């Protein structure tokens, strides 16, 4: 999955580059877009809580060009899955984000197993 995001003037801090918290927001918005697509395709809410998010900053992002974020599924376990995202500007890697999330039942409020159909859907979308 790939997203292109324009850099807005409000995203830039006093140092002249995009504030780090904005990068986290962009990564999260892309993940939420994926979860919304999964919810629509399955006909029920897919709201996996994050149990780990690790963001690594590689270089500054500036407001002269849109950024591209690539999202891939790197692992599926019994109840969790791992996503890896790369944010690029001008072809250069600016940040990476690794997220581990768990499958969560909104009715029982419990972590539940990832069934094979959900694993297949995630693999298909990513």
Q: How many domains does the chain have?
A: 1
What pTM value is reported for the model?
Answer: 0.93
- In percent, how much of the chain has pLDDT > 70? 100
Give the confidence band of 64 by pLDDT, cuts at 50, 70, 90. Answer: confident
Range of the domain at 6: 2-125
Residue 70 sits in a domain whose CATH number is: 3.10.129.10
Please say if the pLDDT value at position 107 is more than 90. no
Residue 97 burial by Cβ neighbours in a 10 Å radius (0-12, 13-18, 19+):
buried
């Amino acid at each position: 999955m790939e997203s292109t995001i324009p850099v807005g003037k409000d995203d830039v801090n006093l140092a002249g580059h995009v504030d780090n918290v904005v990068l986290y927001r962009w990564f999260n918005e892309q993940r939420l877009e994926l979860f919304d697509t999964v919810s629509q395709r399955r006909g029920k809410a897919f709201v996996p809580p994050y149990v780990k998010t690790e963001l690594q900053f590689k270089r500054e992002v500036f407001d002269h060009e849109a950024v591209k974020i690539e999202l891939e599924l790197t692992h599926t376990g019994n109840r969790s899955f791992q996503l890896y995202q790369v944010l690029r500007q001008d072809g250069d890697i600016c940040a990476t984000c690794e997220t581990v999330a768990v499958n969560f039942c909104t009715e029982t409020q419990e972590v539940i197993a990832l069934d094979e159909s959900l694993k297949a859907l995630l693999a298909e979308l990513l």
